[in-house]
């Protein structure tokens, strides 16, 4: 049996600082996450300067804690992986620079990781064998993208949002209705209190033949409906909003998979935590189709997915030089 491969992953693309140690690309030895939600809550959104400062203050402490929890030292590491795209530039730099220091000091490979590809790797950290191809739906506060994933680094974009990401729309509706932050959990929890369920909002891109997403229209529909019906129960509004926001995700992901005769679907990103979405996907899938969604802790931003994906690049000898930079967009 070959030598075990230990990798460290660092994630700092937005408002979570995370460090993880993963063995052989599948066994999570530690997965430490520091959430900045409380720092940004009063602003109803992420403030880039506050985010990067928090990453700077916490990264070294998390690295130390992750190694200790994993029961290994720096000398045991075989590669150093960090998210370097896409995300907030200042935040990305905090993780990538730390990964560079580890790589340079230990003389081990440095691997810059695509944050979106890492999210779609998350299910393979829960006992599943690694496979391709699959249809990948990445849904979060900053991204709503549908992929045909054919291999490592081989991701064809099938469709993406023309404006707001789905998570962003949840945040904006929650802010308008003043029901809390982050918007995803706030909307989901309040929607469960709806009784009449008779608010009718328009179906998103009902007539479209492609796989575009769009959320600015449904957000505007919510605002207009509430202005016209100021006494409406907020729970009834968010129930209808959530149904419309999630229905297009289910509709497009299955249509894309069936058009390509691909039976495996992976749904990842923060919005994949939504219980109603999981219910819709399971209800709409056909018997031979497999819909795979990571556990909630691996849906939100974490470093285990970074370290895990890093292993696949390491095994293919696909490394980066120390001058690799961050990218706000892909």
Q: What residues contact residue 283 under an 8 Å CB cut-off, 6+ apart? A: none
Q: What burial letters (b/e) apply to 135-161, b meaning 16+ CB within 10 Å?
A: bbbbbbbbbbbbbbbeebeebeebbeb
- List, run by run, the mean pLDDT of 10-residue segments along the chain (330 residues): 91 96 98 94 90 95 98 98 97 98 98 98 96 97 95 96 96 96 96 97 91 96 97 98 98 97 98 97 97 96 98 97 94
pLDDT at 209: 84
pLDDT at 1: 55
Q: What residues contact residue 188 under an 8 Å CB cut-off, 6+ apart? A: 242, 274, 275, 276
**Cross-strand pairs, 135:** 148, 265
- The string of pLDDT tens digits covering residues 11-29 is 999 999 999 999 999 999 9
Neighbours of 209 (CB within 10 A): 7
pLDDT at 199: 97
Which domains, and CATH codes, for the chain?
6-126+299-315 (3.30.420.40), 134-293 (3.30.420.40)
pLDDT at 45: 87
pTM: 0.95
Residue by residue, DSSP assigns 81-129 as EEEEESS-HHHHHHHHHHHHHHHHHHT--EEEEEHHHHHHHGGGGTTPP
Closest CA to 16 of 119, 120, 165: 119
- What is the C-alpha separation between 15 and 91, in angstroms, rounded? 8
- The string of pLDDT tens digits covering residues 43-67 is 888 999 999 999 999 999 999 999 9
pLDDT at 107: 98
């Amino acid at each position: 049996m070959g030598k075990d491969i230990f990798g460290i992953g660092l994630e700092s693309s937005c408002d979570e600082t995370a460090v993880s140690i993963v063995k052989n690309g599948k066994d999570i030895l530690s997965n430490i996450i520091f959430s900045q939600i409380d720092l940004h809550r009063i602003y109803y959104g992420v403030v880039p300067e506050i985010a990067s400062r928090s990453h700077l203050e916490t990264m070294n402490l998390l690295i130390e804690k992750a190694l200790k929890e994993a029961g290994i030292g720096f000398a045991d590491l075989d590669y150093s992986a960090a998210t370097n795209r896409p995300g907030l530039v200042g935040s990305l730099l905090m993780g990538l620079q730390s990964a560079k220091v580890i790589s340079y000091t230990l003389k081990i490979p440095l691997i810059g990781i695509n944050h979106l590809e890492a999210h779609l790797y998350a299910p393979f950290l829960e006992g599943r064998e690694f496979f391709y191809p699959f249809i990948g739906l990445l849904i979060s506060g900053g991204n709503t993208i549908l992929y045909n994933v054919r291999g490592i680094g081989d991701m064809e974009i099938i469709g993406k949002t023309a404006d707001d990401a789905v998570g962003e729309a949840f945040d904006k509706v929650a802010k308008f209705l003043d029901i809390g932050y982050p918007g995803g959990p706030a909307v989901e929890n309040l929607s469960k209190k709806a009784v009449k369920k008779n608010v009718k909002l328009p179906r998103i891109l009902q007539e479209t033949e492609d796989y575009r997403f769009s959320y600015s229209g449904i957000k505007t529909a919510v605002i207009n409906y509430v202005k016209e019906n100021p006494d409406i129960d907020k729970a009834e509004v968010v129930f209808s909003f959530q149904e419309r926001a999630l229905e297009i995700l289910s509709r497009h992901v299955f249509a894309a998979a069936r058009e390509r005769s691909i039976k495996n679907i992976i749904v990842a990103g923060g919005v994949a935590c939504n219980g109603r979405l999981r219910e819709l996907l399971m209800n709409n899938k056909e018997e031979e189709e497999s819909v795979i969604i990571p556990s909630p802790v691996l849906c939100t931003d974490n470093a285990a997915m970074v370290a895990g994906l890093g292993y696949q690049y390491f095994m293919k000898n696909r490394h980066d030089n120390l001058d690799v930079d961050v990218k706000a967009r892909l």
